Amino acid sequence: MPERIIKYTEAIKEATDQVMEIDPSVFVIGLGVSYKNGADGTTSGLKMKYADRVFDVPVSEAAFTGMAVGSAINGLRPIVHHGRVEFALFASDSIFTQAAKWNYMFGGNNNVPIVFRINVGRQWGNGPQHTQALYSLFGNVLGLKVVIPSTPKMAKGLLVSALRDKNPVVILEPRWLFQLKQDVPVEIYGEPLDKAKIMKEGKDITVVSYGDGLVSALEALSIIGDSVDVELIDVVSINPIDHETIFKSVKKTGRLLCVDTTNEAFNIGSEIISKVAQNQSIHLKNKPTSLACPNVPCPTSTALTEFYYPTKIDIANSILGLFNKPKVDKKLSFEELHLAPTLTII
């Protein structure tokens, strides 16, 4: 197969397009999804191709999300797009209390096949009300399946699987990754919604992450080189978390580092470390560690965001530190610190 490098956003659009071609019950709804460069490019061109199945909407998140949930209860398969998690919160009743509970509270009588694509997290200059990385909030809601695509390949495969699933699936898309590139298969394929993925095998330490933290961890691997053999795991699903894959890895390596790009309290790493402590402590050679953002909202000024997110250097040094190896002393450029990565993932 020849290489075909495309962007994260293009992978999402391709998945949507390919599923829409096959399944007429799928439609797209959200603010600006019909624009030329709709939803940051993730829906661009779809309105031209599927004029009656792509809907721009009033600025009325609660109503249009509720409408989409109601249509899913009655058999359609909406893709609801929210450009930021803060906007989706206007629709929290429809997502958390209606879609998520419907099948259970009616004794399995009515599934709700809906996909919520919600953009989250880091973006330069967006400040406390546009950058919340509320992953755990969704991880905590029973009845939702929740996944985080960390690469273009996963973005495509997870969306396809979400659209084949019978349940409400929330896809939390880290905005920071929109420009990432990768060789993505042209054909349609699904990725399991409930399985963690081993990105790189190793024997010395298990590093678990997702989203922008995972990409920084990947970059940290090349800084560390051969001095430590890292096993890097993409958590992929946070509802449920695939603890078995992580346990197996920790049993092998005896060490665990979790990297979160949300605040320390109640994050994904806390959940993973808790389960590892309860089930695998006899295998641990060091206490599990976690790298995360401080317990304050993300401010706007670059002078402050500079210290907010764990960087590839922080990750490398925290791993090197565990093995008493010399730390790297490198300063990141302004671009590396503040602009979204455009690198190509292998």
Partner 1 sequence: MKSDFLQAYKTMLLMRLAEQEIANLYLQNKIMSFVHFYVGQEAVAVGVCDALKKDDKVLGNHRSHGHYLAKGGDLKKMICELLGKENGLAHGKGGSMHMIDKSVNFVGTTPILGSVVPLSCGSAFEQKYSKKNDVTVAFFGDGAFEEGIVYETLNLAALFKLPLLFVVENNLFAVNSKLNDRRSPNYDIEKIVTGFGVKYVRADGNDYQDVSKKAKNLVEEVRTGVPVVLECITYRHMAHSAPIFDEGYREEDVLEKRQEKDPIKKIKQVLLESGMSEKELSDVEDDIKKNVLESIKFAMDSKYPPKESLYTNLYA
Ligand X SMILES: Cc1ncc(C[n+]2csc(CCOP(=O)(O)OP(=O)(O)O)c2C)c(N)n1
Positions marked catalytic: 61, 130
Q: Output 11 or 39, the one with its CB closest to partner 1.
A: 39
90 sits near ligand X (criterion: CB under 6 A): yes
31 sits near ligand X (criterion: CB under 6 A): yes
Whole-number Å distance between alpha carbons of 239 and 104: 16
For CA atoms 43, 47, 50, 51, the dihedral sign is: positive
* Torsion angle in degrees (nearest 10) through CA of 167, 87, 158, 270: -90
- The minimum distance between CB 46 and ligand X, in angstroms, equals 19
What mask, x for binding partner 1 by CB under 8 A, covers residues 291 to 320?
A: ---xxxx-xxxxxx--xx------------
Residue 126 partner contact from partner 1, ligand X, none using kind-dependent CB cut-offs of 5 to 8 Å: partner 1
Footprint (CB under 8 A) of partner 1, residues 42-61:
56-61
* CB of 260 closer than 8 Å to CB of 271: no
Instruction: Report whether the peptide linkage leading into residue 240 is cis, meaning its omega lies within 30 degrees of zero.
Output: yes
The region of 48-56, 82-90, 149-157, 229-237 touching ligand X under the rule CB under 6 A is: 82-90
Specify burial of residue 297 (Cβ count, 10 A radius: 0-12, 13-18, 19+).
middle
Alpha helices in the chain (DSSP H): 8-22, 46-49, 61-73, 85-88, 92, 100-105, 135-139, 152-164, 211-224, 243-253, 268-280, 302-305, 312-322, 334-338
Q: Output 43 or 245, the one with its CB closest to partner 1.
A: 43
Q: Which of 87, 96, 135, 308 binds ligand X (CB under 6 A)?
A: 87
- The minimum distance between CB 34 and partner 1, in angstroms, equals 8
Footprint (CB under 8 A) of partner 1, residues 89-118:
90
- The minimum distance between CB 87 and ligand X, in angstroms, equals 4
* CB of 310 closer than 8 Å to CB of 215: no
Binding residues for partner 1, total number by CB under 8 A: 35
212 sits near partner 1 (criterion: CB under 8 A): no
35 sits near ligand X (criterion: CB under 6 A): no
Residues forming a β-bridge with 80: 29, 116
Give the binding site for partner 1 (CB under 8 A): 31-32, 35-36, 56-63, 86-87, 90, 124-130, 294-297, 299-304, 307-308, 338
Give the binding site for ligand X (CB under 6 A): 31, 59, 61, 83, 87, 90
